[in-house]
Amino acid sequence: MTTKPLERICYVEDDEDIQRIVRMSLERVGKMKVEIVGDPMVAIDAIVSFKPDLVMLDWMMPGMDGPTLFRKLKETPETKDLPVVFMTAKASATEMEELRSLGALGAISKPFSPKDLPEQLRALWNTLP
Amino acid sequence: MNTEAAPITVDAPNFTAAADHEPSPDPGLRIFADRVAHLYRQSNAGILLTLLVGAIITVELWTPRYRDLTIMWWLITIAITAARYALYRSYLQRTDHDEEKWLRWMAIGALAAGVNWGIAGAVFFPSHADDQQVFLAFILAGLISGGIAVFASVWWTYALYAAGIMLPFTYVLATFGNRLFAELAMLVPVFYAANIAVAYRLDRVFAAGFKAREDYRGVAHEQELMNVQIEEQLQELLNARREVEASGRKLTLFAERAPIAVLEFDANATVLEMNPAAENLFGYALGELVGRNGLQMLFPADDFGVNESWWHDFVSGVKPATLSRLRCVRRDGLEIMCEFTFTPLVNDEGDVISIIAQGRDITQQLEAERLKKEFTSTLSHELRTPLTSIIGSLQLINSGVLGDVEKDVIELTTIAERNGQRLLDLINDLLDIEKIESGKFTLAPEIVSLDSVLRDTLVLNKGFADRYNVRLALEERLTPARVEADPKRLVQIVTNLVSNAAKFSPEGGTVDVTLQVNGERARVGIHDRGSGIPDTFRARIFSRFAQADSTATRQKGGTGLGLAICKRLIELMHGTIGFEDRPGGGTTFYFELPVMGDKANNALAQLGAVQ
């Protein structure tokens, strides 16, 4: 269990409304620092420069979907060790199992509760070795 | 008991082996009875002849000197004849089957008749003149040889009869004192022996004749039986033919009126027959397709589906085949997707004589399925995404993290959040039920401690129950129970039942939750003090969109899918779900799941120890 508190989150999400809600939730409720990336194509650069503790990925996005971006993160040396949590409305159990085997930390299903989201993330964070 | 038919060829019914009774089952006895019957039949003629000859002798040999003797002999003759006739009558009216007895009596009669003639010879021969002696000798000789015809069917009766005549007469001849007569007396036994031999041969001939008749009877009887059998078989064949014709007509009717396309092919895929539905399906008239190769006409020439190699494998495999997605080509060139079953019909030698294909167009069905899938996917993503924003925003406002908000506003945003959540529940329920019913639902079963699931779920639902001012009370000492179940779905089921109970409980009431283990099943009970389940609702409570009345939907919320989902989930986990009236008012909903055996319990305990 890691002793470092979860402070910096980068969230890749194309829906602007959800971006705002997640930001408010994590900043106001969770007191975390949040970087939102709207375009998955530039996500890797943004993540590298922001240096988050944890990355949250939307599942379905135009241009590049979450699982593809996740694989790219795993291929990039600077980001390959970052814990990744999926925000998803439709991941099947088998898909999720596959991503877990590739190193995804977990998934939070949409719709999520903004009140509980920081707690959920911290719970996942605490499962890290 | 009577295995034989009535005797077939008999001269007179009274002389059958059994006049009033069933014939003996033993053919040997029947032949014997026939021979005795023949004796009696002939004895009648013998009686008449005796009277006639007796009368002639009396007249011819009448002299006043031997008047008394002649009258006495004549009386004896009449007595013997009367006795024999009486015997004959009683034989005709006999009620027994003791043929031996009747033969004995006949033999006694024969001996008596013979002795009577012998005495006539012995008495009248010496006392009369030469010409009368010759007359008497001839008569006696005639009686001896005539007796053969009467008694020969049982040779020894003749032997007794002839001996009766011969012995006294021979004695008279031998002691007469005449050399010629003495020589005659010596010859008489030779004649006697010769006659016996003839009688014996006749006896055998009779026996053989009767046996032949008996055999013929048997054959005739068998033939009669056979005729009856043949008649029956013919009738059966006729009936079978009628049935076959009737079922043939029925089948034709079925095929003609059936909405399913039915085609018959031979082993080379040549179309032999098709019904109107098949004409509609493919757009060909019967005459355009019959005699043509079905593979070339009806199916696209590609590597999939029904082609030459598939057909060859199918015909040599001799097993029915179902193709649930088979592309077919219509007469107008349009491709349609069909479902077809091919069934080979095989003769006794195992050769395929024809192939019946039954199918239907599923193009529209597939399209409907595709639309449904698309719709489900849309529901899943496109509806949930905006709901995420709606519920998320409202929750942030209602949680107070954004600072104080006016009381009226909070009231309205709370209503909005609750209804957003309700919409989300509905979508989730719809997705669940769709997945379960389309068979795409997969459980993630693991060994679960049912008691801890109950504890956790009740904590989760406390907030919901508080809204209705209802207390959730878990049994104090929960029996531990391990079941194999999907924990997430188990929580869903318990949540559903508990929230239903809370919704329908009176304000300030309590929902009791219990857990019992009865043998191999664990039973979870959720007991409320609500108004109970209306009678009209009981039968359909577990069906989809079932709610007692629509006002309840508006007052209490809910989709009417919850119990339907619970039932299907529980059944997927090999359990049962139900409800019953709670004593003292209210309702108990319960579900039962199979309890894991000790082995699994131990494994779980070990796992717990390791962790």
Whether residue B428 lies within 8 A of chain A, CB to CB, comes out as no
For A18, the closest chain B residue by CA position comes to: B389
> If DSSP codes are grouped into helix, strand and coil, which group holds residue B483?
strand
Considering only CB atoms, which chain B residues are within 8 Å of A119?
none
pLDDT in tens, B346-369: 888 888 889 999 999 999 988 988
- To the nearest 10 degrees (0 to 180), the angle between helices B155-175 and B130-151 is 160
DSSP H or E run through B324:
strand B321-329
Q: Would you state the pLDDT for residue B431? A: 80
Q: How far apart are the CA of B416 and the nearest CA of chain A, in angstroms?
A: 15
Domain containing B602 — which CATH number? 3.30.565.10
Same domain, B428 and B453: no
Q: How far is residue A32 CA from its own chain's centroid?
A: 13
The pLDDT assigned to B608 comes to 46
The verdict on domain A8-124 having CATH code 3.40.50.2300 is: yes
Considering the domain architecture, whether residues B433 and B504 belong to the same structural domain is answered as no
pLDDT of residue B226: 94
Q: What is the pTM of this model?
A: 0.50
In the chain, the amino acid numbered B471 is R
pLDDT at B183 over 70: yes
- Give the separation between CA B496 and CA B428, rounded to whole angstroms: 13
**Which residues in chain B have Cβ-Cβ distances shorter than 8 Å to A15?**
385, 389
Q: What is the DSSP letter of A62?
A: S
Assess contact for B507 and B526: CB atoms under 8 A: no
Distance CA(A57)–CA(B359), nearest Å, equals: 48
Q: Does one domain contain both B418 and B496? A: no
Q: Which three-class secondary structure string do you get for B409-428?
A: HHHHHHHHHHHHHHHHHHHH
Task: Kindly state whether B385 is in contact with chain A, defined as any CB-CB distance less than 8 angstroms.
Answer: yes
Q: Does residue B598 have a pLDDT over 70?
A: no
Candidate from B131-140, B241-250, B462-471 with smallest mean pLDDT: B131-140
Q: Which of B336, B354, B334, B333 is nearest to B344 (CA)?
A: B354
d(CA A41, CA B35): 125
Whether residues B423 and B489 share a domain: the answer is: no
- Whole-angstrom Cα distance, residue B531 to residue B533? 7
For the cut 70, the answer to whether the pLDDT of residue B303 exceeds it is: no
Sorted by sequence, the CB contacts under 8 Å of residue B471 that are 6+ apart come out as: B465, B509, B510, B511
Selected for mutation to probe chain B from A115, A120, A127 (highest B CB count within 10 Å) is A115
Instruction: Give me chain A's average pLDDT, please.
Output: 88
pLDDT tens figures, B263-277 = 999 999 999 999 999
Contacts with A113 from chain B: Cβ below 8 Å? 391-392, 395
Given CB atoms, is B435 within the 8 Å cutoff of chain A?
A: no
Please tell me which of the candidates B384, B387, B396 has its beta carbon nearest to residue A114.
Answer: B396
CB-based contact B399 A89, cutoff 8 Å = no
Q: Domain extents for chain A?
A: 8-124
Inspect the interface and report whether the beta carbons of B388 and A29 lie closer than 8 Å: no
Res B611: pLDDT: 38
Q: Which of B437, B456, B481 is the last residue of a domain?
A: B437
Q: Which residue of A has its CA nearest to B425?
A: A111
Asked if A24 and B385 come within 8 Å (Cβ–Cβ), the reply is: no
In what helix (H) or strand (E) does residue B335 lie, and over which residues does it extend?
strand B335-346
Name the residue facing A111 among B388, B399, B402 (closest C-beta).
B388
Segment B34-53 mean pLDDT: 87
Nearest to A114 among B385, B395, B424 (CB): B395
Please check whether residues B432 and B387 belong to one and the same domain.
yes
Fill in the DSSP letter of residue B4. S
Contact A115 B391 (CB under 8 A): no
pLDDT score, position B11: 43
What's the whole-number mean pLDDT along residues B402-414? 88
Q: What is the pLDDT of residue B175?
A: 87
Shared-domain flag, residues B282 and B424 = no
pLDDT at B515: 93
| Res. B124: pLDDT tops 60 | yes
How many residues in total does chain B contain?
611
pLDDT of residue B22: 56
Residue B110 reports pLDDT greater than 50: yes
Q: Which domain holds residue B418?
A: 368-437
Residue % of chain B over a pLDDT of 70: 91
Average pLDDT over residues B551-574: 77
Specify the pLDDT at position B578. 93
DSSP string, B370-417: HHHHHHHHHIIIIIHHHHHHHHHHHHHHHHTTT----HHHHHHHHHHH
Q: Strand pairing partners for B327?
A: B337
Q: Give B88's strand partners.
A: none
What are the beta bridge partners of residue B336? B328
Residues B432 and B479 in one domain: no
Q: What residue ranges in chain A does DSSP mark as E strands?
A: 8-12, 33-37, 54-58, 84-88, 106-109
Minimum distance, in Å, between the CA of residue A77 and any CA atom of chain B:
32
How large a percentage of chain B has pLDDT more than 90? 30
**Chain A within 8 Å of B424 (Cβ-Cβ)?**
yes
pLDDT at res. B18? 44
Q: What gap in Å lies between CA B297 and CA B274, rounded to an integer?
A: 14
8 A C-beta contact, residue B131 and residue B179: no
Whether residues B215 and B299 fall in one domain: no
Least confident of A24-28, A88-92, B36-40, B414-418: A88-92
Residue B246, domain member (yes or no):
no
| pLDDT at site B12 | 43
- Structural domain total, chain B: 4
Please indicate, yes or no, whether residues B400 and B544 belong to a single structural domain of this protein.
no
* Range among A50-59, B55-64, B182-191, B381-390 rated most confident: A50-59
Name the residue in chain B with its Cα closest to that of A30.
Answer: B401
Q: Which long-range contacts (CB under 8 A, 24 or more apart) does B253-256 make?
A: none
What residues of chain B lie within 8 A of the CB of A22, using their CB?
A: 392
Arithmetic mean of pLDDT, B38-65: 85
Contacts of B389 in chain A (CB under 8 A): 15, 17-18, 21
Tracing tokens 């993540």 back to the chain, one arrives at A47
Is B509 a member of any domain? yes
The C-alpha torsion from B121 through B124 and B128 to B129, rounded to 10°, is -20
DSSP codes, B78-145: HHHHHHHHHHHHHHHT-----HHHHHHHHHHHHHHHHHHHHHHHHHHHHHS-HHHHHHHHHHHHHHHH
Hey, of A11, A14, A15, A17, which one would you mutate to test binding to chain B, going by the most B CBs within 10 A of its CB? Answer: A17
- Whether the CB of B611 is below 8 Å from some CB of chain A: the reply is no
> Quick one: pLDDT at residue B342?
92
Residue B556 pLDDT grade (very low, low, confident, very high; cuts 50, 70, 90): low
Which residues in chain A are closer than 8 Å to B380, comparing Cβ atoms?
89-90
Which amino acid belongs to residue B496? N
pLDDT digits (tens, 9 = 90+) for A59-72: 888 888 888 999 99
Q: A115 and B402 in contact by Cβ < 8 A?
A: no
Lowest mean pLDDT among A82-96, B10-24, B63-77, B306-320: B10-24
Q: What is the mean pLDDT of residues B553-572?
A: 78
CB A52 within 8 A of CB A82: yes
Inform me whether the pLDDT recorded for A126 exceeds 50. Answer: yes
Q: Tell me how far apart the alpha carbons of residues B7 and B29 are, in angstroms, rounded to a whole number.
A: 14
Q: How far apart are CA B547 and CA B551, in angstroms?
A: 9
* CB-based burial, B314-330: b 16+ in 10 Å, e otherwise: bbeeeeebebeebbbbe
Residues from chain B contacting residue A90 (CB–CB below 8 Å): 377, 380-381, 384
Looking at the complex, report in whole angstroms how far the Cα of residue B383 sits from the nearest Cα belonging to chain A: 10
Is residue B607 scored above 60 in pLDDT? Answer: no
- The CATH number of the domain holding residue B304 is 3.30.450.20
The answer to whether residue B130 scores a pLDDT higher than 90 is no
ipTM of the complex in this document = 0.83
Query: Shortest Cα distance from B385 to chain A (angstroms)?
Result: 7
Nearest residue on chain B to A110, judged by CA atoms? B388
Position B123 in a domain:
yes
**At A101, which helix (H) or strand (E)?**
helix A93-102
Q: Considering only CB atoms, which chain B residues are within 8 Å of A60?
A: 381
Domain end marker among B225, B241, B267: B225
Residue A111's φ and ψ, nearest 5 degrees, are -70, 140
Q: How many pairs of residues across A and B have Cβ atoms under 8 Å apart?
A: 60
pLDDT for B13? 42
What's the mean pLDDT in B407-435?
A: 86
User: Does the pLDDT at position B497 exceed 90?
Assistant: yes
CA separation for the pair B87, B93 (Å, rounded) = 10
Q: Within an 8 Å CB–CB cutoff, is residue B388 touching chain A?
A: yes
For residues B418-428, b (16+ Cβ closer than 10 Å) or e, as one string?
A: eebbebbebbb
More confident residue, B605 or B100: B100
Is residue B102 domain-resident? yes
Kindly determine whether residue A18 and residue B392, on different chains, have CB atoms separated by under 8 Å.
yes
DSSP B171-209: HHHHHSS-HHHHHHHHHHHHHHHHHHHHHHHHHHHHHHH
Task: List chain B residues with CB under 8 Å of A115.
Answer: 395-396, 399, 401
| Angle, CA B76 vertex, CA B74 and CA B80 arms, to 5° | 120
Give the A-side interface with B, CB within 8 Å: 15, 17-18, 21-22, 24-25, 28-29, 60, 89-90, 93, 110-115
- Per residue in A16-49, pLDDT (tens digit) is 999 999 999 999 999 999 999 999 999 999 999 9
Q: Same structural domain for residues B355 and B376?
A: no
Give the per-residue pLDDT at B557: 59
Same domain, B433 and B461: no
Question: Would you call B381 an interface residue with chain A, using a CB distance cutoff of 8 Å?
Answer: yes
Q: Which helix (H) or strand (E) holds B51?
A: helix B27-60
Name the range with the highest mean pLDDT among B4-8, B426-430, B451-455. B451-455
Task: For residues A32 and B369, give the distance between their C-alpha atoms in angstroms, rounded to a whole number.
Answer: 46
- Is the predicted pLDDT of residue B573 greater than 80, yes or no? yes
Residue ranges of E strands in B475-605: 482-485, 510-518, 521-527, 576-581, 587-594
Q: For position B8, what pLDDT does the model report?
A: 39
Contact B387 A111 (CB under 8 A): yes
Cross-chain residue pair B381–A93, CB shorter than 8 Å: no
How far is residue B427's CA from residue B239's CA, in Å, rounded to a whole number? Answer: 63
In a domain, B67, yes or no: yes
Per the domain annotation, does B414 fall within a domain?
A: yes
B597 has pLDDT over 80? no
Inside any domain, residue B248:
no
Q: How far apart are CA B16 and CA B37, in angstroms?
A: 7
Distance in angstroms between the alpha carbons of the first and the last residue of chain A? 5
Residue A1: band (very low, low, confident or very high) from pLDDT cuts 50, 70, 90: low
Range with lowest mean pLDDT among B150-154, B595-599, B604-608 = B604-608
* Residues B49 and B173 grouped into a single domain: yes
Residue after which a domain boundary falls, among B380, B403, B437: B437
Chain A residues near residue B385 by CB distance under 8 angstroms = 15, 18, 89, 110
Note whether A9 and A56 are within 8 A (CB). Answer: yes
Q: Do B444 and A93 touch (CB under 8 A)?
A: yes
Residue B4 within any structural domain of the chain: no
Nearest CA to B514 out of B532, B500, B494 is that of: B494
- Residue B23 pLDDT > 80, yes or no? no
What is the 3-state secondary structure of B343-371?
EEEECCCCCEEEEEEEEEECHHHHHHHHH
Q: Which of B375, B388, B428, B442 to mutate to test the interface with A (most CBs of A within 10 A)?
A: B388
**pLDDT score recorded for residue B470:** 93
Please give the distance of CA B452 from its chain centroid, rounded to a whole number: 56
